[in-house]
Structure 1
Amino acid sequence: MTDNTQPQATNKYRNNLKAFDYGNQFWDESERNGLAGIVANLVGDGSLETADGHRFINVSCCSYLDLDSHPSIVQGAIDALHRYGVLDHCISRIRIQIPALLELEASLSQLFEAKVITAISAGAATAGILPLLASGHLTQGVRPVMAFDKFAHFSMSLYKPVCGDETEVFTIGHNDMNALEDLCRKYRKVAYVADGTYSMGGHAALGDLLTLQEKYGLFLYLDDSHSLSIVGRHGEGYVRSHIDQVNENTIIVATLNKAFGTSGAAIMFGPKGKQVEDILTRFGGPMAWSQPMNTAAIGASLASAELHRGPELALRQNALSRNIQLFDEFIRTEQAGNAFPIRLVQLPNDKVIRSGRLLFENGFYVSPVFFPIVAKDNAGLRVMLRSTISEEQVLSMCELLRGCIES
């Protein structure tokens, strides 16, 4: 006799059914209205063009400084391919690696003033690091309690169950320093997992976190992907530019795919560089598999690192800042006044898709966002400003957005 009883989910750390049932209706509606699954090519003026000739500006792109199409970075990828004659050795870096990978890590270490190793993506880095952090291998053998910020990116929250197999895992309120300090008082070692800069705007409470670190030895695992390149004299990001050094109780992870303009991820850590590197590259899951950064990504990243040392970085940072300030003059959002380029224009659920379609028809792709991307009943249009969008384009987009808000 077959038992058709389904096993019961505990949903201690995640709930796919809840996310799917609520979010999928918005994805379906986005597709029906041509706001998802768009196929388009980049054209000469920086806009995108679909097969039927519709041109639009992408204002939902994480390439905040538009370096992903910079001629020197594209050429860097090409030059590396010609130099080494292979795209990907497809072997673990702990066995064989091309010299350019070590050259890149040395360049990034000098640029960001921290020991840096790379990974194929920030998600792969997180998948490798967090379980080793949970088991105490990055905290001198002391197994820490893991405290995840409620708003920690999905790429980190995804590994709560894996960490929960090694240690005790808590989810605390966003930037709730009182709850975090309570854990620090109660447990010998605590590791805090959060974004340095959040994908919907805002930063970690870095000053308070550093105070807790000094007082209790709090370990900080911060993903600062959204601020790399746009913050700091050399584009080192929000967290790294606000701390004197990356100490043994801190790891900063940042993708190179966003404002840095290339591909892969940088992992910044402290003074015990070789010891930590060996742990991560031998036992760090995807970091130990045959998935290092490929040759084109390494060449492009070397070129971007050089660009970060020159005057062009500041010019692009300043242009981005002007666009952010201009947008804030005309559209009021909760993020207004901060230096981060993402703004959420909140709209009722029944207006979000309609408004997104109106903007797209008028030459601007601004993505509708909804649960689980944002909290329930907090839907809106996510504007992601870039350095090369013209003042005229920003003003035109703002005029359309104001019409959506007021209608």
Structure 2
Amino acid sequence: MPDDLIAPRRNQFMNNEKAVAIGSRFWEETAAHGLAGIVASLGKDGYFTTDNGHRFVNLSCCSYLDLDSHPHIIQGAIRALEKYGVLDHCISRVRVQMPALLELEDSLSSLFRAKVVTAISASAASAGILPLIASGHLANGEKPVVVFDKNAHFSMNLYKAVCADETEVLTAPHNDMNFLEDVCKKHKNVAYICDGTYSMGGHAPAEELLALQEKYGLFLYFDDSHSLSIVGEKGEGYIRSSIQEVNDRTIIVATLNKAYGAAGAAIMFGPKRSDQALTLERFGGPLAWSQPMNTAAIGGALAAAEIHNSPELKERQEKLQRNIKLFDARIDTEQKGLQFPIRVVRASHENVINVGLDLYRQGFYVSPVFFPIVARDKAGLRVMLRAGMPESEVQRLCDTILRNKLF
């Protein structure tokens, strides 16, 4: 049989049949206990309220600096809508783009000290960028061996099969630099795909990765969505703060939704890589289609950039760090001592939903997490601390967790 007629082996990179079969039981149990699909409105006091009057603090929210409800950002979105009179142009930016979009990218480029291109989301950015890295078009013209960190976010892992249609794809044990260096020794051109800061806590070993880049020319792709705004003098994030400049073998992606407080995503290239940005705009899947950031998102992101250039950013960063330290002083987690606001309080698969329900009844919504979100033996409660949470509520949260005797 000719090689091109041989059926490819299935489930090399994904296995939905297995994941859905295992995960459905826990999602159904979560929903049955009222911990999924909650409908609630955010009040001006920072609390959510359901239709039946239950009030709670949302500790499953990625708005770590509580900027998503900031009046200046809300007004920025409204001003942009009033100025341009349209919500969404619905046309590829390669053909027509709003002046405000270029204004935003100039503002973000200055803020993050990089050549910034925007996207509708970090997931859309990955969908556009990763196949072009695999084909070599964003990796200096040569197809690299593409190595995904085992814990890379699903929004990146989703494109392993697409990348594998272009080049060889490998999966590295989490943060295993020995594995990665062995690949670099065997192959002339290697690209590494990982989170800068992981959604379950912890971060990439930036210093070691930069050393491998210097030694072997390693291409680096980071999604640093969870640290943007909370780290750096201008909120540039963990990875951007760790490197002197974004070079031509590094791309950093970060959402503008989470701590940044607006919507969309920023893609950071080296300041001299306009060619990479243009290739992405023309051939980057969702980035080349008719879905750029809409007018409200652009206006809100411009207003958020102004806050990032003001003393208020540091004040909110410091308030977040105080809440993190307060939590760490009383609750032991694997993430204890890290500056990032995600903490996973371990609980058994059998008990995690009941504990989550008790916390919810006490006014705290904390996500139970279980396989396949985490490994089978890593079930727990993912606590996502925020700057706007009063210290008294952090203490009350700790009291409730301790009462459940999880550790």
Change (3 A) 1:9 1:39: farther
Q: Which residue of 2 aligns with 1:346?
A: 346
* SS of 2:382 mapped into structure 1: strand
Partner of 1:239: 239
User: Residue 299 of structure 2 corresponds to which residue in structure 1?
Assistant: 299
Could you report, residue by residue, the CA deviation over 1:290-327 in whole angstroms, capped at 9, with x for unpaired residues? 00000000000000001000000000000000000000
Q: What corresponds to 2:118 in structure 1?
A: 118
The two structures, once aligned, show a CA RMSD in angstroms of 1.1
* Structure 2 match to 1:43: 43
Matches within 5 A, 1:151-162: 151-162=151-162
Q: What is the 5 A alignment of 1:95-114?
A: 95-114=95-114
Q: TM-score, structure 2 length as denominator?
A: 0.97
Indicate the SS of the match to 1:350. coil
Q: CA deviation at 1:8?
A: 9.4
Aligned residue in 2 for 1:374: 374
* In structure 1, C-alpha distance between the alignment counterparts of 2:202 and 2:105, rounded to whole Å: 29
Q: In the TM superposition, what is the alpha-carbon distance from 1:273 to its structure 2 partner?
A: 2.6
Aligned to 1:3: none
Equivalents in 1 of 2:267, 2:186: separation in Å? 30
* Aligned residue in 1 for 2:73: 73
Give the Cα separation in 2 of the matches to 1:300 and 1:405. Answer: 43
SS at match of 1:330: coil
Structure 1, unpaired ranges of 5+: 1-6
- Deviating above 2 A after TM superposition, structure 1's stretches of 4 or more consecutive aligned residues are none
Match for residue 167 of structure 1?
167
Q: Which residue in the other structure is 1:209 paired with?
A: 209
Name the count of aligned residue pairs: 401
Aligned to 1:284: 284
Q: Distance in 1 between matches of 2:36 and 2:363?
A: 15
CA offsets, 1:5-57, max 9 Å, x none? xx996211111112111111110001000000000001121100000000000
Supply the distance in 2 between the matched residues of 1:264 and 1:44 (Cα, whole angstroms): 24
C-alpha distance in structure 1 between counterparts of 2:54 and 2:9, whole Å: 46
Assess if the C-alpha contact under 8 Å between 1:347 and 1:405 holds in 2: no
Letter in 2 for 1:265: A
Structure 2 unmatched runs, 5+: 1-6
- Relative to structure 1, the CA distance from residue 361 to residue 349 in structure 2 (aligned partners, 3 Å threshold; closer, same or farther) is same
Instruction: Tell me the residue number matched to 1:26.
Output: 26
Question: What is the deviation of 1:355?
Answer: 0.3
List per-residue Cα deviations over 1:332-383 (Å, max 9, x = no partner).
Answer: 0000000010000000111100000000011000010011111112110000
8 A contact 2:177–2:208 mirrored in 1: yes
Q: Which moved more, 1:18-27 or 1:294-303?
A: 18-27
1:322 maps to a residue whose letter is R
Taking structure 1 as the reference length, the TM-score comes to 0.97
Percent identity among equivalent residues?
65
Tell me, in whole angstroms, the C-alpha distance in 2 between the residues paired with 1:288 and 1:33: 42
AA in 2 matched with 1:369: V
Amino acid at match of 1:233: E
Aligned to 1:198: 198
In 1, Cα distance between equivalents of 2:263 and 2:125:
13
Quick one: distance in 2 between partners of 1:165 and 1:227? 31
